[in-house]
Structure 1
Amino acid sequence: MAYSSSLFPSPFFSTDSSLFEVEVTRDEFHSFHKIDRDLFTRLVFVLKRDMNQSSQVIAFLLVVEQLGFARNLVACLVSSQDMLIDAVANEVGVCLSILYNQNYSSFVLLNHNNNDEVVIPFLKGVTNSNLTLSYIIQYRDTILVRVTKNLNDVCNRAFDDIYEKGYKEQRLALERAKVIEEMKKIRLGAPQQTPTRFSVQHQTPSWRNVQQQIPRRSNVQQRTSIRSSVRRSTPLNVSAPQEWVPSPAVEEKAKASVTETKGADNKEDEEEVTPADDRTVFLTFSKGYPISESEVRVHFTRKFGEVIESIVMQEVQENEQPLFARMVLKMEYASKIEEIVTPMNKNKFTIDGKHVCVRKFFPDPSSSHV
């Protein structure tokens, strides 16, 4: 695949544009934007950020470079640690929300008193305090036009193969989530008790029970069987093997072993179980930006792994949008809740360009959240 790019007209040659078109191959275009591709790849596959929002982040960073606020900003971020890249991407997400939603800019100014040190400290640092929230709001239309142009002219062309790989992984994650949901439905439809070592031991007969269940043969039958086996396989002057009977000491040791195992199983059964409320995350969504349950599940599964036990969305009418939900983590991943909500007990994620605020769930006995 080749891309066409018109050269600037020269005073020494004809200005016919058809004579000054050069073909740029797909590989050459990818090579030219290698740094942009590297940063985009880290955002999507390492930091597990949304693909569409990540391409918008790159487009915005290119605008910052083009306006002269920070030269080689993308190259500097590529050589930085993942934590810094994630923090800058979060700040760019706030700037993009201001660009795409005029009401959001009022929300930011109202809640943070236009404090750039709180909202965009890293962007302010890399631009020597020249890029501010006031500047973004003042030149909102101009910046938005530049971001859109970078998306169309650079990102969509430079990241085409990365998009394909990302969408493939996204489809696999969705399919995996659907299969897990179907498995849960089957399990709920046909409940079965999960066997423990304790229950298995009660169901498995001991060696003494097995001996009692096998009918003893008469002495004549035993002697006949021994003679036939001796004739077939035992040489002369070698006696047939005698039946082994455990000694009282062996019996006592076996009983002690069973008792010890029972005690260990009882101890496991008595272990403290983390209540569902203590491993539940409360999510709130922005009005006018609907998010489905599957989008939430795919995003958090890609970012934190198979940690979700269930998601309960707000019950609304068919034409209404859920504004909040509860996400319950699996018992073995209860500790992940600290990573999701952070020690500040609040965090913000971007799912397909839509903001989701999360915090730890605290049940209210007087009302129901969902």
Structure 2
Amino acid sequence: MAPISTEELHLFHKTHREVFCFLIFKLHRDLTQSLLVMSLWIWLEHNGYPDINYKVMDLPYTLANALVTEAVSCLECIEAENSHIPNNGGLPITKGLTQKDISLKMFNKKRYTIIAGIKSVLKNICARIFADVLQIILKSRIINRVRASGGNIFDMHLTVPGFPHPLFGKFDISTNNTMNLDLSDEKIWMGNGPCDDVTDDDKSMFLTFSKGFPVSEPEVRYLFTRTYGDCVQSLSMGSAVVNDQSLFAMMILKSVRTVDQILNGKRVAKLHINGKHIWVRKYERRE
């Protein structure tokens, strides 16, 4: 199978490209915000909400703008420590457009699943299908800025403002003009969508224990296996030991969805095993 060309990729994602340009040039939305909104909508497409990208440009201007504002509120809900969720769910236009039960509560409950999904969409889809549009916009901005300052243009390093993002990480504009597709790869035929290539960091959790109440590795494994099934990929008890007791542990799960199940919309979950407390939170790597 020959690699997919840029033209073929653009044709396949024609609607996504049109909507992205619509957000920037018609609704005059911020470039970085538009990129994140598109990533969110594409993730929703792959998770049972297929209508947004195909209907947004048919909406009246004010309604389309309000729909984008709802998408931004979804992103803010993911990022915020504590989000207020209105009684109507906060997404009436999105709900009406998709004819699905969707609210900000979902973005609170599935926070880390959606973060991993958006990261995957940014890297695997948006970096490829919007590369030419982003290059045109960013180059134009640099040229205008340099001309205004009276400088000379030599080497233009294109970076999208706002990246690396505190939640979604790096975003590198793809310069490849072809995309390899191995049709013998079984994953292509299994209906897998974005979020299937999550990293171990996406699935990692940090556990802490109380001094004087030692928790063993078998106890930790039993606690999570009993509640969430065969979910533990690896478990490392902390090397910092006080009175023969590990005070923390690092756990990598098999699925990022289990992270959200454990936390249930909270930043820290308090669990119990044999009368002993275990505090669990999402592991965040510090660069």
Bin for the TM-score computed over the shorter chain: 0.3 to 0.5
Bigger relative CO (Cα 8 Å, ≥ 6 apart): 2
Structure with the bigger percentage of helix: 1
How high is the TM-score relative to the length of structure 1?
Answer: 0.38
How high is the TM-score relative to the length of structure 2?
Answer: 0.48
Bigger Rg over Cα: 1
